[in-house]
Chains A and B, each alone.
Chain A
Amino acid sequence: MPQSRSNTDFVCNSKDEQDVFNILGIVYGSALFLGFMNCSILQPVVAMERVVLYREKAAGMYSTMAYAIAQVPININDQHVLGKSSCSDRNNRLGTDYEPKVYVLQVSVELPYMLVQVLIFSSIVYPMIGFQLTAGKFFWFFLYLVMSFMYYTLYGMMTVALTPNIEIAMGLSFLIFIFWNVFSGFIIAREVQHPTYELVEKWIESISELMKSPNLTK
C-alpha cells in the first residue's frame, strides 16, 4: 500500500493536525449534507400534504392541530360550557378530539424514517472513520445525527408552512443554508476569540508599517 497510515490509524494514532482536520471534514459532511438532502426532498411532500389538509379542513374532517398546543386552555374552558353549546360547536369540539393526531402524525411519520436513515448511515460510517467502538461514543454520534436530522426536517416543514408555495420555501431554505454552511466551523475555522485590543494593535501596526514602506514614497 502506498499510504503509510490507514483511516483506522487516525484517531488511535494521530500524527499531526491534518488528521484532526480530516475528522472535521467528515463531521462537517455528515452534519450538513444529509440534512440538506433530507430537507429538500421532504419539502414537496409537505407542500402536497398541506394541500390535502386544506381540502380536508374545508370538508370539515378536522381543523388545525395547533389547537392541541396553542389552544389547550380554550378547550378546557369549553368543557365547562358544554351544556349551552350549539350544534356547530359540538361538531367543532368533536373535531378537535381527532385534530391533534393529524399533525402529530405529520411530524412523527418522519421519525422512523429519520431513525432508520441515521442508523444505517452511522453504522456504516462510524467504524469506517475509525472512531473508537465504544457504546458511549457511538451513542453521542447517533444522538447528534438524529437531532441534526430532526431540526433539518422540521426546518423544511416550517419553511413550507410559512411560505405560500414550494418555490419560495425552497429559495428561503437554501438562502439560510448558505449561511449555515459557511459558518458551520469548517470553511471558516471557529477559533477562540482574541481580545479586541490585540486586533486594534495589529491594525495600527500594519498601517504604520505601510506608512514607513518605501513603496508609498516612491
Chain B
Amino acid sequence: MKPNQSMYLMSEVKLLQMMPVWWRWVYWADPAAWTVYGLMFSQLADRTEKILVPGLGEQTVRDFLEGYLGLQDRYFELVTCLHLAIIGLFAFLFFLAIKHLNFQRR
C-alpha cells in the first residue's frame, strides 16, 4: 500500500465527518441514491472475499459495503418498495396535474 493512498482516504473520511448530520436525510430523499443502493447491494452483498482497505487492513466486501458505503441489509426491502412508491407517486401527480392544471393559451 502506498502511503499517499492511505492519507487520501483518511482525509476523505475526515471531510465526511465534517458534513453536518442534518444533511443525511437527503440520501433518503433521493431516488437515484436508492437505485445505486439497490444495484450495489443486490450485486455485491453476498461476496465474502477479502479486500485490502487502506487504513483498515483486510475486510470482506460485505463489511466494506456496510461500513464505508453504508449499504446495510435491513434497508434493502425498503429501498425496493420506495422505488415502487415513487413510481406510483409520480404517475399520480402526472394524472392529477394534467387533469386540474390548464396551461392552454389561445
A residues in contact (CB < 8 Å) with B: 11, 13-17, 19-20, 23-24, 27-28, 30-32, 35, 50, 53-54, 64-67, 69-70, 103, 107, 131-132, 137, 140-141, 144-145, 147-148, 150-151, 154-155, 157-158, 161-165, 179-181, 183-186, 188-194, 196, 198-199, 202
A17 touches B54 (CB 8 A): yes
A66 touches B95 (CB 8 A): yes
- A158-B93, A184-B30 known; A144 and B69 CB under 8 Å? no
A184 to B90, CA, bound (A): 19
- A14-B51, A17-B68, A192-B67 known; A157 and B94 CB under 8 Å? yes
- A17-B52, A190-B27 known; A31 and B39 CB under 8 Å? yes
- B30-46: CB near A (< 8 Å → 1, else 0) gives 11110111111011100
Residue of A nearest to B59 (CB): A17
A14 to B103, CA, bound (A): 55
Chain B 8-40 interface residues, beta-carbon cutoff 8 Å to A? 12, 16-17, 19, 21, 24, 26-27, 29-33, 35-40
- Ordered by A's residue number, 6 sampled pairs between the chains whose C-beta atoms are within 8 Å are A11-B44, A20-B69, A140-B38, A144-B38, A147-B35, A148-B31
Residue of B nearest to A177 (CB): B32
Chain B residues with CB below 8 A from A193, complex form: 21, 24, 70
Instruction: For B87, give its contact among A27, A67, A147, A184 (CB under 8 Å).
Output: A147
Q: By the criterion of a CB under 8 Å from any partner CB, how many residues of chain B are at the interface?
A: 58
Chain A residues with CB below 8 A from B42, complex form: 137, 140-141, 144
Most buried by B among A17, A31, A147: A17
- In the assembled complex, the CB of B99 is this many whole angstroms from the nearest CB of chain A, namely 3
Q: Does B84 contact A (CB under 8 A)?
A: yes
B39 touches A191 (CB 8 A): no
B83 touches A148 (CB 8 A): yes
Most buried by A among B53, B72, B91: B91
Chain B residues with CB below 8 A from A189, complex form: 12, 16, 68-70
Closest 9 CB pairs of A and B: A66-B99, A154-B90, A140-B42, A161-B97, A16-B52, A184-B32, A31-B35, A64-B99, A180-B32
- B63-86: CB near A (< 8 Å → 1, else 0) gives 011111111100000000001101
B65 touches A64 (CB 8 A): no
B51 touches A15 (CB 8 A): yes
